Structure 1
Amino acid sequence: MSAPTEYSAPLSSSASLATASLVSNGPILLATDLSARCDRALDRAVVLAKARGVPLIALHVLESAPATASPAAPSWRRLSEDHRELARYRLGLDLDDPELAVEIHVESGDAADRIVELATRHGCSLIVTGIARDESLGKLLLGSTVKKLVRHVAVPVLVVKNRPHGGYRDAVVATDFSPESRHALQVAAALFPSTSLLLFHAYDTPFGMRRLAEGLGDDAQRDAQLEMDEFLAATPDLPAGVPARTLVQDGEPETLLSDYVFAQRCEMVVAGTRRIKGIMGAMVGSVAERLLEALPCDVLLVRGADPDSK
């Protein structure tokens, strides 16, 4: 495995302010299904809200009951006012913190739709959610819900898998040198100014060409590193020292990134996503979608900036 390259960004007195302006100072939205695994997302959302000094909005969505639901089922398993009050009571206990401004919402309907509406209405700066499911208290499906969120709202989505132990110390920003990955790097720098960021790129030498000629691998490595340097030189408004390091490797992106994250015990990976217009609608890029499933760490998905929003 090649060693990361130290990177020193050019000094700029306005870079930190310009980067910070990429994200709002709006509240953080926690979307939870109240399962045990989503407790990790709740804990992370609290840590982030305190660190950023912003309010925390907690949302639980009651989804429609199955048509076959037994009328004899306990009230807490039915979509009723009792169920709604139980959810509100549990969130109130979990978020009882005098140092935190909290607003609790318990709503009915489609989880992704309610999250998008609330995040838009309150101008949220970040959506935090987990990966668990709980049939008795609604469910938040990782795949379909997250894809729908990225499709319909430009707010970054943080999918939490691990229990937090303070703020993120380090994170890996995956890049393919696209505008979306550039925007993801800028947003990560703004959201996590105290986190050491490694910019990671995996390149794939064409099959059968790897050892065709002596030194071909070295040439590919140098070309990839040069492209990395050019990408950073063309990325405006990065604070000094961001990213702290860069790393280019030859191979399949998801495998290399997963191996690196596991070996280095990285806490978060940041990935940009594309918004595709036209008949295909909008979707999370296939690589980012696979990363959600493969990575053992938290994943921040950042949708590319809309051209008409610049």
Structure 2
Amino acid sequence: MRRIVLATDLSAPARQAAERAAQLSHSLAVPMELLHIVNLELMPRLQNAVPAAVAASLPLRVLKAAQETLETWAADLQSRYAITPTARVIDGELLHELLDAVGDEDAVDSLLVCGATGESIVRHFFLGSTAERLSGRTTCPMLVVKNPVTGPYRHVLVPVDFSPSSLAAIQHVQALAPQAGLTLLHAVELPFQGLLSLAGIGREDIDGYRATVEQEANEKLHALCQQAGLPPSTLLRVVQGEPVASILAQEQGCDLIVMGKHGESRFQKLFIGKNTKKVLAESRHDVLVSV
């Protein structure tokens, strides 16, 4: 990982995300940038609501206040985390400027960090078809911070589906939190399970079918663990059930969940996966959206 970009709306949740970005910047010895994007095209409505003497200078005053706030944050983070973050305020449309800041083709070694609420960048990034298409242009993983920083990540839950993105997710975790313990989770949804009873298949045969599917999943988990070079202490879990519910049921004891951004087809790569959206919205823990 070459750099960390903290995208902030200057809210309290974003300040919490800045703490996590600074902790990672220090532990990984990579540079960090504080980035705030102001869309001055939205300013006229506000200018019409204030006295004329104030309206003329309002854009410059807003930009100056944002820059001063970022520099205050940077100085505080520098003193407490022994890093030297840069601070930058940009005038422009949020998503376009954000994608430009992290880059399109060379962003794989960057990490975008943001808070989960406030004037949420997550809301813009994950809702709406236009935002989803834009998100498909970048190869930058995204860390959504939900909790205060109490130290480095200690245990990470990595749901996997055995696609190539599963290995990529594990590699992102290894780069982001090399000392953390990992739990690899695969949720099994048995095809046609409900129809088997209706078709007259006996309980014993259905149980055997379930055992076979779970055994195959366990074998794939072990193979993936070896492929990724993970230690024998890595926890491997196969559970039966709907993926999102299974992930949320297993998140206790973990402080980070890693989710893939999209599927494997060319069409799916334009969109954020529905399971990722749900986990991002419903999980109590930080979420890393891998690519």
TM above 0.5? yes
Question: Which residue type is aligned with residue 145 of structure 1?
Answer: F
Does structure 2 conserve the Cα–Cα contact (< 8 Å) formed by 1:126 and 1:157?
yes
Question: Which residue type is aligned with residue 297 of structure 1?
Answer: H
Q: Distance in 2 between matches of 1:212 and 1:162?
A: 48
- SS of the aligned residue for 1:270 comes to strand
Q: CA deviation at 1:223?
A: 2.6
Match of residue 83, structure 1, among 55, 62, 78: 62
Q: 1:207 to 1:106 in 2, by over 3 A?
A: same
Task: Kindly indicate whether residue 97 of structure 2 is the aligned counterpart of residue 114 of structure 1.
Answer: yes
1:135-189 CA distance string (max 9 Å, x none): xxxx334243144664121111001111111000001001122222222122222
Structure 2 unaligned residues grouped into runs of 5+: 127-131
- SS of the aligned residue for 2:101 comes to helix
Match of residue 22, structure 2, among 46, 55, 62: 46
Q: Distance in 2 between matches of 1:282 and 1:243?
A: 36
Correspondences of 1:59-208 after superposition (within 5 Å): 59-63=35-39, 64-65=41-42, 68-73=45-50, 80-96=59-75, 97-98=78-79, 99-120=82-103, 123=107, 125-133=110-118, 139-146=119-126, 147=132, 150-205=135-190, 206-208=193-195
Match of residue 255, structure 2, among 254, 267, 271: 267
Does structure 2 conserve the Cα–Cα contact (< 8 Å) formed by 1:130 and 1:160?
yes
Q: Distance in 2 between matches of 1:151 and 1:184?
A: 16
Q: CA RMSD in A?
A: 2.8
Q: Distance in 2 between matches of 1:225 and 1:281?
A: 30
Task: Kindly indicate whether residue 193 of structure 2 is the aligned counterpart of residue 214 of structure 1.
Answer: no
- SS of the aligned residue for 1:80 comes to helix
- SS of the aligned residue for 1:207 comes to helix
Q: Distance in 2 between matches of 1:242 and 1:107?
A: 47
Q: Distance in 1 between matches of 2:163 and 2:58?
A: 45
Task: Kindly indicate whether residue 46 of structure 2 is the aligned counterpart of residue 58 of structure 1.
Answer: no
Match of residue 224, structure 1, among 208, 214, 239: 214
Q: Distance in 1 between matches of 2:102 and 2:58?
A: 23
Question: Which residue type is aligned with residue 156 of structure 1?
Answer: P
The aligned counterpart of 2:129 is none
- SS of the aligned residue for 2:42 comes to coil
Structure 1 unaligned residues grouped into runs of 5+: 1-24, 134-138, 304-310
The aligned counterpart of 1:282 is 270
Q: Distance in 1 between matches of 2:279 and 2:170?
A: 17
- SS of the aligned residue for 2:103 comes to helix
Q: Distance in 2 between matches of 1:89 and 1:225?
A: 58
Does structure 2 conserve the Cα–Cα contact (< 8 Å) formed by 1:150 and 1:157?
no
The aligned counterpart of 1:301 is 289
Q: CA deviation at 1:207?
A: 2.3
Match of residue 239, structure 1, among 213, 220, 229: 229
The aligned counterpart of 2:248 is 258
Q: 1:106 to 1:207 in 2, by over 3 A?
A: same
Does structure 2 conserve the Cα–Cα contact (< 8 Å) formed by 1:174 and 1:200?
yes
Of structures 1 and 2, the one with the larger relative CO (CA 8 A, separation 6+) is: 1
Q: 1:197 to 1:72 in 2, by over 3 A?
A: same
Q: 1:294 to 1:233 in 2, by over 3 A?
A: same
Question: Which residue type is aligned with residue 181 of structure 2?
Answer: S
Q: Distance in 2 between matches of 1:180 and 1:286?
A: 15
Larger Rg belongs to: 2
1:221-259 CA distance string (max 9 Å, x none): 453243242254257752341771111111111112112
- SS of the aligned residue for 1:266 comes to coil
Question: Which residue type is aligned with residue 281 of structure 2?
Answer: E
Q: Distance in 1 between matches of 2:233 and 2:134?
A: 27
Q: 1:217 to 1:36 in 2, by over 3 A?
A: farther
Return the TM-score normalized by structure 2: 0.82
Does structure 1 conserve the Cα–Cα contact (< 8 Å) formed by 2:7 and 2:112?
yes
